[in-house]
Amino acid sequence: MKIVYDRETDTLTIVFAEADVFESDEDKPGVILDYDASGKLVSIEILDASKRVTLPSRIEYEVAPAAG
């Protein structure tokens, strides 16, 4: 997984898989879901990220412990 914040375009992109985008849907205004040819989610793009996300340039990553 890769997360990219582009300050110039104010776009936050979360890439789940390195695959060609076959189809894109704007789920909500400014939130674009990208899918590959088999319908799997490839990435999420958030437009005007600084207006929608608190501190889009700051990333926290957490892995929850496995249920045991």
**Positions of the chain with pLDDT lower than 70, given as ranges:** none
Q: What is the pLDDT of residue 67?
A: 83
What pLDDT, on the 0 to 100 scale, is given for residue 53? Answer: 81
Confidence at residue 27, expressed as pLDDT on a 0 to 100 scale: 81
Angle value at C-alpha 24, between 35 and 62, nearest 5 degrees = 55
- pTM over cut 0.85: no
Domain extents for the chain?
A: 2-52
